[in-house]
Structures are given as structure tokens and as C-alpha cells.
Amino acid sequence: MDNQRLLIWALFLMLAWITWQQWTEDYAPRPAPQQTTEALEAPQPDVTDLPELTDTSVDAPDVMPTVEGQPEAPAAAGAPTISVTTDVLDVEISLEGGTLQGATLLGYPVAKDRPDDLVRLLDTDTNRLGLLQTGLRTAGEGPEPNHRALFTSSRTSFDLGAEDQVTVPLTWSDGAGVTVEKRYTFTRGSYRVTVEQTVTNNGAEPWRGAEYAQLQRRSYPQERSMFDVDSYSFDGLIIYDGDKSEKLDRDDLIDDGPRTLSSDNGWFGAIQHHFVSAVVPETGTSQRYSASVRGNVATANSIGPAVIVEPGAAKTFTTTLFVGPKLQDQLGEIHERLTLTVDYGWLTILSDPLFWLLSKAYDIFGNWGVAIIAVTVLIKLLFYKLTESSGRSMAKMRNLQPRLKALQDRYKDDRQALSQAMMELYKREKVNPAAGCLPILIQMPFFLAFYWVLLESVEMRQAPFALWITDLSSRDPYFILPLIMGGAMFLQQKLNPQVGDPVQMRVMQIMPVIFTVFFAFFPSGLVLYWVTNTVLSIAQQWKINKVVEAEAKAEKLKGTKKPKKNKGD
């Protein structure tokens, strides 16, 4: 039983290894397949290669966007543009198709020390390509209002100003009585963009067509670095089929071909660390989705069913776009499952309530660091009774150390006899030597859930705590918190029983050093959680040790008292 400590740490390392294996499986880069020069230089897939809508009935089957063709590279950058400025977004809309080809997030600098260098999610630059395209496909020959059609606008710029909303109207006509008005609506404080396409048929023949939306985005193999937490967040396409979301690995799309599905409650998008560009078709409309990667561009699109607009009638198609940070309250307002773009991994079941608790604590204290401390205290209180019983066993083990040392000296040449004698002592004193394992098992899931919350929640991106901690989502720049954590772990060890042979004890003594180095590159918010938890554990164990020592002294004193003699004796 003197190997219990080593077994505890072996269990901890096993859990860490399992986590690392899962992490590697989900996120580690895979060797990119060899591509020919022609493939790398090939123009990008485009929805204009859709087949014509030949079935003219209202109940026509859905029409699937294809990704087989490779038309010219995105050309929207050469068309006239409209600028739109809100309190949170600076957007550029091309009159060619009404494509959103530029989006800068006004409140989100790339780095805290570069406040004027803002995050840009949409761009025509091939190195950071991002386009959101919408349009309508029509049956038969003739012009159609797709994302290559030229629209017109009465203005070249729009500014939200003091208003709560600003609407940008674009118009298109086929010259034969069919007109389309495409309206973009932007709202104060929101990264939501509502797109309405109204078809008005003043011609003599029915108009037959379907709406579609497409996202194009740069795609490169991911490179991981322990010095950059951003590199461990998924970067690529994501799609939701009405039941579950799926992150689409770049190499899988290249090797296996396009991913396709159908849903009447789905969405698709492109995610990166803290930010997302997403397309949410109107709920209840049957949509067919496709996603692919060609060269260095990932493409995802959706198309609805064919509809008929009779002469004299009109039809409005509505699509919702989101271009911005992964703010869960805004994402949830658009679609209840759009919050899945916040990638908490397989511990979402714990991460979601933890984030909710953190948000509530932040509402009270106004500081994410204080919120982390408050939630850590709540978790400690929640498991206090459970860890208390474990702590009592550890305290009793501490009191047994002199007797354990005597047994080790007595049976130093007989390991079997030593183990048997120790087991009898533990049983007689009602001590569980494996009790120290329980707190670790309890803490590990919360530790990993906290890791993903701090890594993925944009609310804590560049959020300051106090003094030198100016960004809870990145490592401590001076490694002070990890050093404090190492010191706290060393002190915690002193409160616990030192059981085992000299080699085991030396291994345990260097564990705080190993953990200090390991945590040095973790987000400082996570280290703050672990420091707080360790300090609370020290306080709890110190109190338990005092109580158990007092109980032991009282029991010993009770046993040494002599019984009083009767008068007749």
C-alpha cells in the first residue's frame, strides 16, 4: 500500500494522456495530401455552376448546389461597392450580387498591444479570403439575380448613426417585368445581418426559382504550437443538420469529397478561435447543404426548394447571416443551436453550465478574474462534504506516519509482510489510503471544462483581471501565477502524509516543479482557477488536520484516564 501515492499520480497521468489522445484525434494536423500545381492554382468552386431548375412545380424536389465546376476566382472585388458602418461593424458590400466581401469588427483588436489592428473576418484578399454570397437561381434561359448579377443602389455608403437599425436596399431587374430587391438590415450592437430578397413578378409569365446562400473562406493546414493557444482551436467549416453539428476537417473534405445533407432546421458556417461567419436559412424551409475544399478555399452553401411566383405576385426569401465574435447570447437569439459554434469539445455538458455560472458572476462583479474565483469557491463548496471525508482519511494517514515508518523499518526486507501489516493497520484505524485520489478525480473534469471555457469563450478574450494579468485567455506574461501555483502545491504536499519509499517521495517532491512548467503556457484564467482551488484545498486540509489531531489527542487522553475507585474498595 505504500505505492498508493504513485498509483494516484499514475491515474492522473492516465487521464491526462486519454485527454491528450482525444485532443490529438480531434484537432491535431494531419499530413496534407500532395496536390498538383494545377489543383493549387485552380479557380474556386462557385454556386453559378448549379444545374438549371427544370422541374417547375411548387413541390419540386430540392435542388442541390454542386461543387464540380471551377469557374473564375471571386471577382466581386472589381465591382462598385457600398460601405456600411454600425457601432460594431464596418462592412463592404459589392454591387456584384450584393456579396458581403468585407467585415471588420470595430471592438476587437487582433492583439491587445495593437489596438488599431482590428479583426477582419471577410475579405477579398486570397490570403484571408472570406465572402458571404446570396442569390436566386431561376429555371430556363435568361438572366437571373445570382451573386454574379449586377445590382444597383442609390447610395454608396450607409451609417447607423443614432438609429437602432439601418437597411441597405439593392435592386435588380431582368428587363421583362421581374424585379428583385435585396435588403440588408443591420442592428445596433448586433453582428446579425438579415438578408431579404423580394421577387416581384410584373411580367406575363410565372417566375420559377430558388434561393441559395454560399460562404467562401480561405483554408490552410493548421500548425500547432504550445506557445499559441489559438492554434489549438478548430479553424474551418462547420455544419448543423438539425440534430447535431459537425466540424468538417479540411483533409477529410479533400480526401472524401464534398459533404452533403438535407435539413429544414440547419445552418452552416466557418469558425476560428473566438469568431464565426455563419449562414442560417429560414427555419422550416427544406434546404440542401454542401461543403467542400478546393485548393486553399473552403466552400459551403445551401439552396432551398423551387418556388413559383405568379404574374402580379411577390415572394420574399429571408436568410440570416452572422459575422462576428462568438457571443453566445446573440448566437442563441438567431438559432438555439448556433451556440455550438463555440467549440467546448466533448465536455460541453460541464462547460455550458460553467460558462453560465461565470456569466452570472461577471454580472455581479464586473471582472472575469473575480468571476473565476467566485465560481471556484462555489464548486469547492458544492463538493465540500465529499472532499471532507477524503481529507479526514488523509489527516489520519498523516497521524499514522510514525507507526508506518516503524513498520517499514521492521519489515524492510519483506515487502509482502510489510504490505500485510500496513493493510491491517489501515483496517484497524479505519483509514482509506486511496482517499487522496478522490479530489483529483473530482477536479479533473472541471479543470478540463474550465480550460475549454477560458480558451473558447470570446467574452474572456483579452479580458483583464488585475495588476499584470491583462488577458485571462492567454498565458501569464511574467509566469508569476504559475510560480504561485507551484508554491501552493508544494505547501499542499506538506499538509498531506508522506508515504512511500525515498524514490517515490522524491518524485512527489518534483511534481510541483513539473506542474509549474506545464501550466506556464496555459491561459492565465485557468491557472487562476487552479491556484484558487489549491489555496482553498490547503485551507480545508489544514482545518481538517487540526480537527483530527484534536480528536486523536482527546481519544488518547480518554484512554489514559484511570477509573475512579468506589468507597467500599
Instruction: Encode pLDDT of 297-337 as tens digits.
Output: 999 999 999 999 999 999 999 999 999 999 999 999 999 99
Instruction: Give the DSSP H/E element, type plus range, for residue 24.
Output: helix 4-27
Specify the CATH number for the domain of residue 257. Answer: 2.70.98.90
At residue 537, does pLDDT exceed 60? Answer: yes
Residues 329 and 410 both lie in one domain? no
Q: What is the per-residue pLDDT across 415-432, written as a single tens digit (0 to 9) for each?
A: 777 777 777 777 776 666
The model carries a pTM of 0.76
569 within domain boundaries:
no
Identify the pLDDT of residue 239: 96
Pairing mode, strands 157-159 and 81-85: parallel
Four-residue CA torsion sign, 280, 285, 291, 297: negative
At residue 71, does pLDDT exceed 50? Answer: no
Q: Using N-to-C axis directions, what is the helix angle for 348-365 and 368-382, rounded to 10°?
A: 120
* Cβ neighbours, 10 Å, residue 51: 11
Distance CA(368)–CA(471), nearest Å, equals: 10
Identify the pLDDT of residue 76: 46
Residue among 562, 42, 21 at smallest CA distance from 293 = 42
Identify the pLDDT of residue 33: 36
49 within domain boundaries:
yes
Residues 325 and 381 both lie in one domain? no
Q: What is the per-residue pLDDT across 421-461, written as a single tens digit (0 to 9) for each?
A: 777 777 776 666 655 566 667 667 877 887 788 888 888 88
Torsion of CA 454, 458, 463, 468, to 10 degrees: 50
**Between residues 301 and 6, the one the model is more confident about:** 301
Residues 329 and 365 both lie in one domain? no
Asked if residues 428 and 397 have their Cβ atoms less than 8 Å apart, the reply is: no
Taking phi first (over 0 means left), then psi (-120 to 50 degrees means alpha), and beta for anything else, what does residue 189 get?
Answer: left
Which of the residue ranges 9-13, 166-170, 410-414 would you say has the lowest mean pLDDT? 9-13
pLDDT above 70 covers a percentage of the chain that reads 73
Identify the pLDDT of residue 459: 86
348 within domain boundaries:
no
Instruction: Give the DSSP H/E element, type plus range, for residue 297.
Output: strand 297-303
29 within domain boundaries:
no
Place of cell 499542499: 492
Residues 94 and 216 both lie in one domain? yes
Identify the pLDDT of residue 555: 65
Distance CA(78)–CA(95), nearest Å, equals: 10
Residues 175 and 282 both lie in one domain? yes
Query: Among residues 286, 308, 343, which one ends one of the domains?
Result: 343
Asked if residues 442 and 387 have their Cβ atoms less than 8 Å apart, the reply is: yes
Residues 144 and 223 both lie in one domain? yes
Q: What's the DSSP call for residue 113? A: T
Query: Among residues 343, 376, 391, which one ends one of the domains?
Result: 343
- What average pLDDT does the segment 90-95 reach? 96
Residues 88 and 170 both lie in one domain? yes
Instruction: Give the DSSP H/E element, type plus range, for residue 128.
Output: none
CA angle 201, 207, 213 (to 5 degrees): 100
pLDDT category of residue 26 using cuts at 50, 70 and 90: very low
298 within domain boundaries:
yes
Distance CA(306)–CA(394), nearest Å, equals: 70
Burial class of 467 by CB neighbour count within 10 A (0 to 12, 13 to 18, 19+): exposed
267 within domain boundaries:
yes
Residues 215 and 285 both lie in one domain? yes
Residues 256 and 275 both lie in one domain? yes
Residues 150 and 221 both lie in one domain? yes
27 within domain boundaries:
no
Query: Domain count of the chain?
Result: 2
287 within domain boundaries:
yes
Nine-digit cell string for 272? 476560428
The CA-atom distances, in angstroms, between 514 and each of 57, 224, 432 are 69, 22, 27
Residues 498 and 543 both lie in one domain? yes
**Between residues 165 and 498, the one the model is more confident about:** 165
Residues 293 and 161 both lie in one domain? yes
Q: What is the mean pLDDT of the chain?
A: 79
Nine-digit cell string for 175? 428587363
**Between residues 476 and 164, the one the model is more confident about:** 164
Query: Among residues 343, 362, 382, which one ends one of the domains?
Result: 343
Identify the pLDDT of residue 64: 35
Nine-digit cell string for 249? 476537417
Q: What's the DSSP call for residue 238? A: E
> How far apart, in Å, do the first and last CA atoms of the chain sit?
49
Residue 248, domain extent? 34-343
Identify the pLDDT of residue 393: 65
Collapse the DSSP code of 281 into the 3-class scheme (helix H, G, I; strand E, B; otherwise coil) and give the result: strand
Burial class of 141 by CB neighbour count within 10 A (0 to 12, 13 to 18, 19+): exposed
